[in-house]
Amino acid sequence: MLIIFTVLLFVLGLVFGSFFNVLIWRLPRKQSIVAPRSHCPKCKSQLSLFELIPVISFLLQKGRCRHCKAKISLAYPVVELLTAIGFVFFGLVTTTWLQLLANLFFFSCLLVSAVIDLHHKLILDVITIPGIALALVFSLLEVTVPINLSLLGILIGGGLLLAMAVISKGGMGMGDVKFLAMIGGFLGPYGAMLSLVIASFLGAVIGMIYLVVTKQSRKTPIPFGPFLALGAVAAFVYLNLYI
Ligand SMILES: [Zn+2]
């Protein structure tokens, strides 16, 4: 039973990952997420059902468009695989369908926000604001942390980064503030703080390596969202496995 559930979560993750690729491309560009149908960004030819199969179509087409042979970014299958792996980890620790929904939704918000931030240095309100609202709803439905902890998580998560944004005078964006508030809504104040500590550590280490390797100045802005998402995943695993 566990194996079947794991495989189902993985396949579901691949399918949703494919949809997230559409969101990641279209949301920051303010395009409709339902129309037009998926197409090659270069030659505009509509993708057939076969070309929409996650990961496998990418491998069979050797990473190129079937029509114009334009290279397809490796980011597409990577997002699909990450979603599949995330769905397995966030799904397996659940005991009810509602909790499953809450966890998969939370992971999806983390992933989509992080990848959009990597590409555009932007964390979208269209994900974080409904994310905060649904964190409260799931909390009231008793599938995540209790409501008092959810509210406290939003206040502390958002508050900590708001303070950092004020002190750093623009070094931290308001998108990050709302993002950590959402994380706090799902994980509570302890989870929000843990996420921030891990994110800051990873951000400092990886950011430094990145600047040295690419020989860029210290003023180069590095998006913090992906680190917050990684921190939240680590905090989620810690809170679910060790407490
Ligand atoms: Zn093409």
Digit-coded pLDDT (tens) for 104-156: 999 999 999 999 999 999 999 999 999 999 999 999 999 999 999 999 999 99
Instruction: Check if the beta carbon of residue 157 is closer than 8 Å to that of residue 183.
Output: yes
- The Å distance, Cα 39 to ligand 1 centre, comes to 8
* Domain shared by 154 and 47, yes or no: no
* Domain shared by 235 and 174, yes or no: yes
Instruction: Check if the beta carbon of residue 162 is closer than 8 Å to that of residue 181.
Output: no
Q: Is the pLDDT of residue 31 over 60?
A: yes
Q: How many Å apart are CA 68 and CA 89, to the nearest integer?
A: 37
* Domain shared by 16 and 136, yes or no: no
* Domain shared by 61 and 37, yes or no: yes
Q: How far is CA 238 from CA 111, 130, 215, 232, in A?
A: 18, 25, 35, 10
Q: Is the pLDDT of residue 243 over 60?
A: no
* Domain shared by 63 and 157, yes or no: no
Whole-model pTM: value is 0.93
- The Å distance, Cα 72 to ligand 1 centre, comes to 9
Domain boundary residue, one of 40, 59, 92: 92
- The Å distance, Cα 42 to ligand 1 centre, comes to 5
* Domain shared by 85 and 111, yes or no: no
Structural domain count of the chain: 2
- The Å distance, Cα 46 to ligand 1 centre, comes to 9
- The Å distance, Cα 71 to ligand 1 centre, comes to 8
By residue range, what is the domain housing residue 8?
A: 1-92
Q: 172: which DSSP letter?
A: S
